[in-house]
Amino acid sequence: SVESGVRYIHPDRTLKNITGSFGPSIDVSEASPFTIYRASATLKFGDKLRCMGSYREPWGGHAEYGQNWTYTGSATAQHFSSEDYGLTCAVSMALEKGMLSLVGGYSWQTIRYELDQFFAVGPGFTATTRVEDSSSAWRLGLAYEIPEYALRASLIWNSAVDYDMRGTVINPVAPFAGPVAGSITMPQSVEAKFQSGVAPGWLAFGAVKWTDWSVADNMPLCSTALPFACTQPFAVSGLTLLFKDSWTVTLGAAHQFSEQFSLAGSLTWDQGATQGFTSQTDTWIAGLTAVLTPAKGVEFKLGGTAGIMTSGSLSTMTLPGGIPNPVGYTASFGNDLVYSLNGSAVFRF
């Protein structure tokens, strides 16, 4: 089978009551919309082995602050993107009831971080940060299914991924700008999924995921000319998150109205990873997806979500190690909207 999909995500987070090192600022829209893509191809080798090659974009975050707010020295734009090329295989064995599968896989991941800043000193000048790296990731898990009941349960662990970021900082007034390096770890996760038929034409499903976001705390970037390891006091740029571990829980149901049309609805709670340095608070999301099967082996999914990013406040006044942030600020934000649109196509051979 072959599958491809696309998802458009539009978060609408606005920072308000901004003040800090340079006094008050106008409100500013923090998040900007972005699109993520995925594709996969699956082959079966007899009844006991199947493998899937995949492309996905597991990590991402985008912000376009612009140059009208006071804290352009913190950021005018910020982008974090990723690509994952993976191979996952499952070896299955028949039990007295159902099928048990051992799942394992490998991925080659690339992440990129981009930061634009504007400093209103004299005529003003722009500073840019561009760093990236590639690294390996692993996954391992178990799955159990009873096809006649549409029952499937799985438990999958995804490894943490360590990156040694390298690139360039262009800043006319920073004495150690130029080639830079730093490190960051993207988190491991464990996800349990379950689905089962509960009545003729009805399916219930759910998922629970733990993500070790606390490892993604800080990425100071230092000049490669330094003869020692990069730490915050010597950083010329970087990314500070100070996240905590988080949970994501999804519950939903699907109903098959006919051989050609099904509808699925879900509710997701995504625990915010912020500890007060960023605005990633708890999010509640409702989703609806239509599944169209116009012919045997052909499936189209069209859907969307709408959710609330809960209110809170943040402060970037202090960097890791208790270092004062020269472009730090505090801000509050309300219950903001986030929505997405998605579509996919599957062709089974």
pLDDT digits (tens, 9 = 90+) for 206-225: 999 999 999 999 999 999 99
pLDDT (average), residues 274-278: 96
Percentage of residues in the chain having pLDDT higher than 90: 94
- Per-residue pLDDT, 174: 75
Model pLDDT for residues 133-160, shown as the tens digit of each residue: 999 999 999 999 999 999 999 999 999 9
Model pLDDT for residues 171-185, shown as the tens digit of each residue: 887 777 899 999 999
Model pLDDT for residues 80-91, shown as the tens digit of each residue: 999 999 999 999
Residue 62 reports pLDDT greater than 80: yes
Edge-first strand listing for the sheet containing 28-29: 28-29, 14-20, 329-333, 312-315
- Per-residue pLDDT, 303: 98
- Which distant-in-sequence residues (6+ apart) come within 8 Å of 19 by Cβ? 25, 329, 330
DSSP state for residue 47 in the 8-state scheme: T
- Give the CATH number of the domain where residue 327 resides: 2.40.160.60
- The 10 Å CB-count burial string (b at 16+, else e) for 261-281 is ebebebebebbbbbeebbbbb
pLDDT (average), residues 62-72: 95
Task: Give this prediction's pTM.
Answer: 0.93
Q: DSSP of 216-285, one letter per residue? A: --EEEEEETT-SS---GGG-SEEEE-----EEEEEEEEEEE-SSSEEEEEEEEEE----SSSS----EEE
pLDDT (average), residues 180-191: 98
How confident is residue 227, by pLDDT bands cut at 50, 70 and 90? confident
- Per-residue pLDDT, 322: 94
Model pLDDT for residues 109-134, shown as the tens digit of each residue: 999 999 999 998 777 899 999 999 99
- Per-residue pLDDT, 234: 92
Domain span at residue 110 reads 2-347
- Per-residue pLDDT, 123: 78
How confident is residue 236, by pLDDT bands cut at 50, 70 and 90? very high
pLDDT (average), residues 42-60: 96
Tally of domains within the chain:
1
- Per-residue pLDDT, 172: 82
Q: What is the largest CA-CA distance in the chain?
A: 77
Rounded CA-CA distance 288/305 in Å is 6
